Structure 1
Amino acid sequence: MGLFGRRRADPAAGAAPTIDPCVHDPAAADLYEALRLRDRWWAGDFLQAVTDPDERAFYLSVCASVPRLQDWIGTWTRAEPRSTLPLLVRGAHALSWAWEARSEAYAAQGEEHRFPGFSERLELAEACLGEVAARDPGETAAWTFLLACARGGRVKPDEARRRFERVVELHPGHLRAHTEMQTYLCERWYGSHEEMFAFARASVSKAAPGSPLGRLVADAHVEVWRSLPPAQAQAYITQEEVRADLRAAADHSIRHPAYRPQVGWPEVHNAFAFAFALAGDLPAAREEFQLIGDCATRFPWEYLGPDPAAAFVETRDRVLSEGM
């Protein structure tokens, strides 16, 4: 059961790994089900009780993934005009809804008019989140999702950085804000490999031991890998220098004694498992897969093909069998 006791069916024992929009978090599944059933009262009570900035961003990302939320969320905002919470949920969902209108193409490919509905939905997200930020400047989730809007809205670097700085002023180790800013800075969007790595390394060096921010280094190496032709990509990711960098990041992060899993933890461990497996560091990858179990996530396994769950299983089975 979740925080407020909404019941859900347990997964069948021995079931194959699946890509769960709730990231295998029971409370998130309760929230998802409440919104699917249009139970805004239960969802509102749940979200009001979540005050940790990282947890708040995680649960709002779950809200954003609920299908057809746009069909009725206006009822919630009209019913509670003095509350910023319905606007926050609507803005986070509108952002996700906008990306449904276009493909996962590089920023340089195509113009917005090729993706009907994208601009309008993104403008709705900006408007809702901007109003929340204006009415409640301390709402880190609003600034975090505004930062996520920056990529699709072609927001200038200074403004994207302002949104990021607003989050980390309030919560320095905010995981979602850091991953969004790093994505903005990568070569396929508005930066370069050099800017991306500089941001990742600076962020990790400032992070407390045991912080999940170590995943930024893994994500950065994977980003370079996917930007290269296959032969060059393999040569890059299997360098001993890259392996050492990944191990050092994990040692400061998920393998540090101070590390404590937080909600959404499978995302961090899947990121490291993927990078270690690509790099051919089988002992490190094996350790991550043993921790993950069947808790596969869409990112980054979607980089290996249209069926992320199958890619996860194939890689996991290979890593575990080669270690026997």
Structure 2
Amino acid sequence: MDPAQGDPTARALREAAQRRDWGTIRDLLVPVTDPDDHAFYVESIAGVSGVQDWIGEWVDAEPRSTLPLLVRGAHAVFWAWEARTAARAENVGQEQFKEFWRRLRFAENSLDEVADRDLDDTTARTFLVTSARGRQVDAAEAARRFEDVVARHPHHRIAHEQMLQYRCRKWFGSHDQMFEFARRATATAPAGSPLPNLIVVAHLERWLDLPVGEDDEYLDDDAVRAELNAAADRSVRHPDYVRRPGWPSLHNTFAMGFARSGDLRSAAGQFEVIGDQVTDWPWQYINSNPVIPFLAWRDDAVTAVG
């Protein structure tokens, strides 16, 4: 498991965060201008434990820069979920929830300041889409946050992925809302875009919400397999598709979708691209150690195609 997903810049950023070297983080992030790449790289730092212990030093040292505020806010979103844990709400204690919400408020204060000071920002606004679920904002506010991102970068990958989660039934939406969002984003995305992976995620979320027995029956359906293949043809299998930072999680999502739906030949094609770049998402839905289901399904797919 490589948290940097094989990306050398992400790895360098994570290593700098671990040694509290904010100067290197700044020097690596400043040249990144693509909104999707920028969000991926900030996310790679945000997931490093302990950033809250030193980030104030950077904020104080460069008060005119929004970058340290952005890193502080993005990390605080991850820090908040550490307090809550990944458990279902009924299994999270009241004190955990209080700390979760306290950290999310702290995160949003920093992210809001970045958005206020930098009218062109997309990354802080994207993390506000992420935090919308934890803050339990209403649908109108969640949509406003999402629109703030896509008004600046219409096909922002992480913003779309996070908004899809908000639209899931397990959060604040429904299966219909989730699929409507995924299909509309796919239909309007340019050829070769990563956004059709939302179709795969939607089907996996529907599968996860079904009782045992009905779940596998749902995915073992020609219509589902056809939609997954159509999504891949518009995305990772399209001639215009280009691998960008964070590409392994995209292919892992398609690989799991194909494997679980029984389309092992299509899954094998994705596993071939992935190599050993297994990602936590989405295999964590099957096992807390993503490597276990990844290897099992990869072996099955390779065997199936001979």
Tell me if 1:153 matches 2:141: no
**CA–CA separation in structure 1 for the residues paired with 2:131 and 2:280:** 20
Kept in 2: contact 1:107–1:188 (CA 8 A):
no
- Specify which of 281, 303, 306 is matched with residue 321 of structure 1: 303
**CA–CA separation in structure 2 for the residues paired with 1:109 and 1:179:** 25
Kept in 2: contact 1:108–1:188 (CA 8 A):
no
Tell me if 1:254 matches 2:236: yes
- The residue aligned with 1:162 is 144
260-269 or 108-117, which moves further after superposition?
A: 108-117
1:166-222 Cα distance to aligned partner (Å, 9 max, x none): 111111110000000000000000000000000000011000011000100000000
Kept in 2: contact 1:173–1:207 (CA 8 A):
yes
C-alpha displacement at 1:315, in angstroms? 1.3
Tell me if 1:181 matches 2:163: yes
Kept in 1: contact 2:207–2:218 (CA 8 A):
yes
Tell me if 1:30 matches 2:8: no
What is the TM-score with the length of structure 2 in the denominator?
Answer: 0.97
Structure 1 letter corresponding to 2:101: S
C-alpha displacement at 1:107, in angstroms? 5.7
- The residue aligned with 1:72 is 54
Tell me if 1:284 matches 2:271: no
1:219-259 Cα distance to aligned partner (Å, 9 max, x none): 00000011111200000011111000000111111111111
Structure 2 letter corresponding to 1:47: L
Distance change >3 Å, CA 189–CA 112, structure 1 → 2: farther
SS of residue paired to 1:115: helix
109-118 or 223-232, which moves further after superposition?
A: 109-118
**CA–CA separation in structure 1 for the residues paired with 2:69 and 2:212:** 44
C-alpha displacement at 1:135, in angstroms? 0.7
Matched residue count: 306
**CA–CA separation in structure 1 for the residues paired with 2:141 and 2:211:** 33
| Two-structure CA RMSD over aligned residues (Å) | 1.3
Tell me if 1:301 matches 2:283: yes
**CA–CA separation in structure 1 for the residues paired with 2:123 and 2:3:** 19
SS of residue paired to 1:170: coil
**CA–CA separation in structure 2 for the residues paired with 1:61 and 1:317:** 31
- Specify which of 177, 181, 184 is matched with residue 199 of structure 1: 181
C-alpha displacement at 1:323, in angstroms? 2.1
C-alpha displacement at 1:110, in angstroms? 5.3
**CA–CA separation in structure 1 for the residues paired with 2:94 and 2:177:** 26
Tell me if 1:144 matches 2:126: yes
1:253-301 Cα distance to aligned partner (Å, 9 max, x none): 1111111111100011000000000000011000000000000000111
Aligned pairs for 1:83-98 (under 5 A) are 83-98=65-80
Kept in 2: contact 1:277–1:285 (CA 8 A):
yes
Kept in 1: contact 2:196–2:232 (CA 8 A):
yes
Distance change >3 Å, CA 145–CA 119, structure 1 → 2: same
C-alpha displacement at 1:115, in angstroms? 3.4
Distance change >3 Å, CA 149–CA 112, structure 1 → 2: farther
- The residue aligned with 1:263 is 245
**CA–CA separation in structure 1 for the residues paired with 2:101 and 2:94:** 7
**CA–CA separation in structure 2 for the residues paired with 1:217 and 1:108:** 29
What is the TM-score with the length of structure 1 in the denominator?
Answer: 0.92
- The residue aligned with 1:232 is 214
Tell me if 1:172 matches 2:192: no
- The residue aligned with 1:7 is none
- The residue aligned with 2:45 is 63
Q: Give unpaired runs (5+ residues) of structure 1.
A: 1-18
